A and B are shown apart, each in its own frame.
Chain A
C-alpha cells in the first residue's frame, strides 16, 4: 500500500507564478519529510526537508509546509523559473528508519 502519495503526476505553471506541489502520507508516525528534485538523465537531488516539530521551512524560493493533522505537505516554489522544470519527489519517514517515496510530480515551467 502506498504510504506516500503524490496525486498529481504533472503540473504546468507560467514563469514567475507560484508552483505548488502536494504530497499526502498515511502513517502518523512519520516525523521527517523531504523533497527531491530530479532532472532527466540525472539522479534525484535533495532539495529541502522538514521535521514534524515545524509546520514550515523556507529556503530561498522553496518553502515546504507541513499539516500534520491532515497528513499533508506541500512544496511552494515562488517565483517559478524554467530551470525548475523537473520531477519532484516527496519522501516521508520515521527518522532513523525507512523512508517512503511518492511517485513524483513532473513540473513544467512555461517561459
Chain B
C-alpha cells in the first residue's frame, strides 16, 4: 500500500477557480509537509504541520491554505487559482519535524489555464 498518497495525480483547471489537493499517510508520522516543485526542479517548502502546529512559509500567498482534519491527512486548498500556480506539488511526512523516515508522495501536477 502506498505510504503517502496524493489525489488527484493530475489537475487541470481554469484561472480563478478554487481547488483542493488531498494527502494521506498511513505511516503513523506526526509531521506532514507540502512542497512546490518549480520548473527547475527545486523543491520549495510551503507548509509543515506538526502535532497540530502549523508552520507557514511566509512567501506562500494566503490563497493557499492547508487543512489537517487529523494527523494522517494534510490537504492543500487553493483559492482563486493563477497561471503561476501551475507546478507539481508534493506532500511528504516524517516521524517528527525534520526527523528520519521522510517519505514523499508521488506528486500532483496542477495546470492552470
Q: Which residue of A lies closest to B1 (CB)?
A: A1
Taking the closest CB of chain A, its distance from the CB of B109, in whole angstroms, is 7
Complex Cα distance, B6 from A101, in Å, reads: 13
A window 53-100: CB within 8 A of B: 87, 89, 91, 93, 96-100
Size bin of chain B's contact surface? 20 to 34
Known contacts A43-B43, A45-B42, A99 near B37 by CB under 8 Å: yes
Known: A97-B109, A98-B109, A99-B88. Is A46-B43 also a contact (CB below 8 A)? yes
CB distance from B13 to the nearest CB of A (A): 17
Q: How many residues of A contact B (CB 8 A)?
A: 26
The 10 closest A-B CB pairs, nearest first, are A101-B104, A43-B45, A41-B98, A98-B106, A98-B107, A46-B42, A44-B43, A100-B106, A46-B41, A40-B98
Residues of A within 8 A of B (CB): 1, 3, 34, 36, 38, 40-46, 49, 87, 89, 91, 93, 96-101, 103-104, 106
